[in-house]
A and B are shown apart, each in its own frame.
Chain A
Amino acid sequence: MTRILEAYVGEYASGKSENAVNRAVKLAGENRKVTLVDLDIVEPFYTLRPIKKELAAMGIDVVAWETKETDGLGEAGTIIKPEMRWVLSRPGDVILDIGYGVEGAKTLNLVEDALNDPDLKIYLVINIARPMTMTEEDIWEYALQLSPIHGLINNSHLGDETDLEVIQEGARIVTKVASRLNLPVIATAVDERFADQMDSQDCMGNPIRFLKRFMPKTFW
């Protein structure tokens, strides 16, 4: 079976980590061997560290520091764990959570052979409620800056105040940008609390991925 190699990139707080974690959980649930990698190197916060044990119990191999192993996070803390550099040489699926930063997908240069690997798919996660990625034009410019990317994911929401409208509006805008870029919309990602209110596809016909919320447990 072909292995799945995916990197999740996007704006700060766009939902990259939540999507990456959920993807890893789903693949592990299908009895696949999965490695999940935490590559947040700009401002270490809201990353995978605190839920490492919980994910490991689900059979996911998490490459991330444990909080107590790091010295003075953000000040004197060690950033890259050496294993991260060679993570693609592991068997099985690899899901990469790429933290934000002005260089975007270039972080992948730190992973040996990542950008050369023909099987690696880089997905851009978009939340249209985030000011820098609200309009079609903004998202288009942003996507161009971050290339290469292979697909878009609509993760539009307003946290606790999310409604169906923002999700569907996101689907519309992201789909428009995707067609301009000649790229697929991989999915619209939605909090599982909306499961009974939505079909398996959004208003533009993209598949829906329901997300279990893991990230709130990772507040430092």
Chain B
Amino acid sequence: MTNDIKPVSGEKKVFMTGNEVVAWAALAAGVDIMYGYPITPQNEIMHYWTRMVPKFNKKFLQTEDELSAGFATLGGVLSGKKAFTATAGPGNILMQEPFSMAEMMRIPAVLVVQQRGGPSTATVIYSQQEVTMTCYGGNGEGLRIVYSTAGNQDLYDYTIKAFNTAWKYRFPTFVLGDGYQAKMRESLTIYNPEERGIDLVPATPMVGAPGTPGIHREPNHLRNTYNTEEELFQVIREMVTEYNLIAAEIVECDAQRCEDAEIVLISHGVVSRACLAAVSRLRELGIKAGYFRPITLRPFPETQLRQLAKNAKRLLVVESAEGQLAKLIMQSIYGLTIPMENYFRPGLGITAEEVVSQVENLLVVY
């Protein structure tokens, strides 16, 4: 007899911190097991998950490092259970190894990243400096899905979505938060996804399915090596084709007030909150500012961005990194001649007031 109390039923308004939200969302998404290793600023994900383990009949393993946490997560997923892990900074570097294996073998693993200052140990606090690594880390083509959240409600919604996306499309999926979001306290609505009409994609085993291999069914022999260059090329070609095909279904972004915009502010994650507030303020001051926020960094909303870039006069990229978002943008708008400015603040939080100042200074120059 299973002890199947639903962790979340109906809808409820609560006051939580970001890391806690991730743990609750994983519960609501039907996750069975979390593997993890301590690193600031994401430890509360484990602190809360372990407190809830006995209440909801879940499992947890603290491993000896992030390599083991990542590879054990792959094991859990391979065995047909919804599993995830979480990390930050130097831990994210280690996670690139297991998640490369997940990319090659189409293992639907989920990683939550709470970005901190980098490189190396740097700060435990905040940055947006893990964009390149989370989108393209590892030794492959970055065939992965990355959601960049901007607060507690997002962390809840997109953590649930990450499991559905991973299990439906079978590319490793990442929820990219940061240290500010991890610790931020704000209210949100937690809900049972199925009661809201969001179906949970079921997990299926890649190893250990019923039946004796060789007798009742063929064995599943899973490898990540190939013997010849030609074999590898074929495999990658097929994966890329599939990835590009499903990109349109997965891509998400938010654009506001761009139709008549003189300058469009582009930002992601928590910085987009500052930029949205800045656009409001700028409009009050008579400046025609627009707002664009990629929500999926992989696949990047290239089509949508190119469209609005054709109409706008100037772009301003705002990020807490030295051009990691800007690189993704430039890749997307290659060929367009729209001028692009930047406001790079690696490791530093960005306020709406700063952004307003930046725009005002820019427009004075022009």
Whether the Cβ atoms of B187 and A161 lie closer than 8 Å is yes
- The stretch that binds A, out of B39-47, B66-74, B258-266, is B39-47
Task: Give the distance to chain B from A140, nearest Cβ to Cβ, in Å.
Answer: 15
Is A82's beta carbon under 8 Å from chain B?
no
Taken together as a complex, chains A and B put the C-alpha atoms of A74 and B117 apart, in Å, by 13
Interface class of chain B by DSSP: mixed
Contact of A129 among B15, B20, B41, B125 (CB under 8 A): B15
Taken together as a complex, chains A and B put the C-alpha atoms of A73 and B116 apart, in Å, by 12
Whether the Cβ atoms of B13 and A74 lie closer than 8 Å is no
Is A86's beta carbon under 8 Å from chain B?
no
Is A199's beta carbon under 8 Å from chain B?
no
CB neighbours of B183 from chain A (8 A): 45-46, 219
Taken together as a complex, chains A and B put the C-alpha atoms of A159 and B187 apart, in Å, by 6
Q: A45-B183, A129-B187 are in contact. Are A220 and B40 (CB under 8 A)?
A: no
Mask for A153-188, Cβ within 8 A of B = 1, else 0?
Answer: 000011111000000000000000000000000000
> Which single residue of chain B is at the shortest CB-CB distance from A72?
B121
CB neighbours of A75 from chain B (8 A): 40, 121, 124
Contact of B15 among A46, A157, A219 (CB under 8 A): A157
Is B24's beta carbon under 8 Å from chain A?
yes
Is B51's beta carbon under 8 Å from chain A?
yes
Mask for B240-263, Cβ within 8 A of A = 1, else 0?
Answer: 000000000000000000000000
Whether the Cβ atoms of A13 and B17 lie closer than 8 Å is yes
Whether the Cβ atoms of A131 and B180 lie closer than 8 Å is no
Task: Give the distance to chain A from B69, nearest Cβ to Cβ, in Å.
Answer: 18
Whether the Cβ atoms of A74 and B40 lie closer than 8 Å is yes
Whether the Cβ atoms of A45 and B41 lie closer than 8 Å is yes
Taken together as a complex, chains A and B put the C-alpha atoms of A144 and B186 apart, in Å, by 27
Contact of B44 among A12, A130, A160, A219 (CB under 8 A): A12
Q: In the complex, how many residues of chain A place their beta carbon closer than 8 angstroms to a beta carbon of chain B?
A: 24
Mask for A1-22, Cβ within 8 A of B = 1, else 0?
Answer: 0000000000011000000000
CB neighbours of A73 from chain B (8 A): 40, 123-125
Whether the Cβ atoms of A161 and B13 lie closer than 8 Å is yes
Whether the Cβ atoms of A220 and B125 lie closer than 8 Å is yes
Whether the Cβ atoms of B125 and A130 lie closer than 8 Å is no
Taken together as a complex, chains A and B put the C-alpha atoms of A122 and B192 apart, in Å, by 37
Whether the Cβ atoms of B43 and A132 lie closer than 8 Å is no
Whether the Cβ atoms of B187 and A43 lie closer than 8 Å is no
Whether the Cβ atoms of A131 and B187 lie closer than 8 Å is no
> Which single residue of chain B is at the shortest CB-CB distance from A215?
B185
Is A127's beta carbon under 8 Å from chain B?
yes
Whether the Cβ atoms of B186 and A159 lie closer than 8 Å is yes
Whether the Cβ atoms of B186 and A130 lie closer than 8 Å is no
Task: Give the distance to chain A from B125, nearest Cβ to Cβ, in Å.
Answer: 5
CB neighbours of B187 from chain A (8 A): 129, 158-161
CB neighbours of B185 from chain A (8 A): 13, 159
Mask for B6-21, Cβ within 8 A of A = 1, else 0?
Answer: 0000000111110010
Whether the Cβ atoms of A132 and B121 lie closer than 8 Å is no
Whether the Cβ atoms of A158 and B15 lie closer than 8 Å is yes
Taken together as a complex, chains A and B put the C-alpha atoms of A182 and B124 apart, in Å, by 42
CB neighbours of A220 from chain B (8 A): 125-126
Whether the Cβ atoms of A43 and B24 lie closer than 8 Å is no
Task: Give the distance to chain B from A168, nearest Cβ to Cβ, in Å.
Answer: 15
Contact of B20 among A45, A131, A157, A161 (CB under 8 A): A131
Question: Considering residues B15, B17, B20, B123, which has the most beta carbons from chain A within 10 angstroms of its beta carbon?
Answer: B15
Whether the Cβ atoms of A159 and B40 lie closer than 8 Å is no
CB neighbours of B15 from chain A (8 A): 13, 127, 129-130, 157-159
Whether the Cβ atoms of A43 and B44 lie closer than 8 Å is yes
Contact of A219 among B13, B47, B180 (CB under 8 A): B180
Taken together as a complex, chains A and B put the C-alpha atoms of A160 and B17 apart, in Å, by 14
Within A167-220, which residues are at the interface with B (CB < 8 Å)? 219-220
Whether the Cβ atoms of A131 and B14 lie closer than 8 Å is yes
Give B residues with C-beta under 8 Å from A. Answer: 13-17, 20, 24, 40-41, 43-44, 47, 51, 121, 123-126, 180, 183, 185-187, 190
Q: Known pairs A13-B15, A130-B14, A131-B20. 15 more at Cβ < 8 A?
A: A12-B47, A43-B40, A43-B41, A43-B44, A45-B41, A45-B183, A72-B121, A73-B125, A75-B121, A130-B16, A132-B51, A158-B187, A159-B15, A160-B186, A220-B125
Q: List 9 A-B contacts (CB under 8 A).
A: A13-B16, A73-B40, A73-B123, A73-B125, A129-B14, A131-B14, A157-B15, A160-B186, A219-B183
